[in-house]
Structure 1
Amino acid sequence: MEKKNDRGQSGQFEVAFNRIHRCLKEMVKNASNDAFVELLNTGFKNHSIIRRYKNELYQFAKLRNAIVHEKVDVDYYIAEPHKEVVARIEEIADHFEKPPLAISAASTPVFYYYEDALLKDVLKAINKFEFTRFPIYSTNNEYRGLLTSTDIIRWMGRKFSSDVISLENVQVGEVLTKDKNYYVDFVSEKATLYEVEERFDEYHTQDKKLQAVILTENGEKDSKPKGVITPWDLLDPEPNS
Structure 2
Amino acid sequence: MLTNGRGGCQSLLHEGRNNDYIIKKYRDELDTVRKVRNSIAHNNEYYFLPSSSLYTLLEEILEKVIDSPKISDFIDNDLMVIKEDTSIIKTIRDMKKYDYDQIPVVDHKGKYIELLTTNTIIRWMGDLKLDQDSNLIIEDAQIKEVVKYAEEDEVCEFISKDSKLDTLIDKHESIIKAGNKIDAFLITENGNKEEVLQGIITDWEIPEIYNKLSI
Q: Alignment partner for residue 239 of structure 1, among 209, 212, 215?
A: 212
Q: Alignment partner for residue 196 of structure 2, among 224, 237, 240?
A: 224
Q: Alignment partner for residue 144 of structure 2, among 173, 177, 180?
A: 173
| 1:192 aligned residue | 164
Structure 2 Cα separation of the partners of residues 125 and 86 of structure 1: 52
- How far 1:64 moved relative to its partner? 8.1
Structure 1 Cα separation of the partners of residues 94 and 141 of structure 2: 16
TM-score normalized by the length of structure 1 = 0.65
- How far 1:142 moved relative to its partner? 4.6
Contact 1:20 1:93 in 2 (8 A): no
- How far 1:115 moved relative to its partner? 0.5
| 1:98 aligned residue | 67
Aligned partner of 2:145: which letter?
A: E
1:156 and 2:125 aligned: yes
Contact 1:104 1:240 in 2 (8 A): no
Q: Alignment partner for residue 90 of structure 2, among 100, 107, 121?
A: 121
Structure 2 Cα separation of the partners of residues 68 and 15 of structure 1: 8
Aligned partner of 2:12: which letter?
A: C
Which moved further from structure 2: 186-195 or 162-171? 162-171
Going from structure 1 to structure 2, the CA distance change for 1:224 and 1:67 (only over 3 Å counts) comes to: closer
Going from structure 1 to structure 2, the CA distance change for 1:100 and 1:150 (only over 3 Å counts) comes to: same
Aligned partner of 2:186: which letter?
A: I
Structure 1 Cα separation of the partners of residues 37 and 9 of structure 2: 17
User: What is the percent sequence identity of the aligned residues?
Assistant: 21
- How far 1:212 moved relative to its partner? 1.0
1:145 and 2:114 aligned: yes
| 2:11 aligned residue | 22
| 2:21 aligned residue | 48
- How far 1:221 moved relative to its partner? 1.6
| 2:43 aligned residue | none
Contact 1:183 1:211 in 2 (8 A): yes
Q: Cα deviations across residues 11-62 of structure 1 (Å, max 9, x unaligned)?
A: 8xx599975543333x15xxxxxxxxxxxxxx2x6543334x23xx534655
Structure 1 Cα separation of the partners of residues 136 and 56 of structure 2: 58
| 2:105 aligned residue | 136
Structure 1 Cα separation of the partners of residues 63 and 112 of structure 2: 36
Going from structure 1 to structure 2, the CA distance change for 1:50 and 1:170 (only over 3 Å counts) comes to: same
Q: Cα deviations across residues 99-127 of structure 1 (Å, max 9, x unaligned)?
A: 32123343443211111011233223322
- How far 1:232 moved relative to its partner? 2.0
Give ranges in structure 1 of 5+ residues lacking alignment: 1-10, 29-42, 71-75
Give the aligned CA root-mean-square deviation in angstroms.
3.7
TM-score normalized by the length of structure 2 = 0.72
Structure 2 Cα separation of the partners of residues 197 and 149 of structure 1: 26
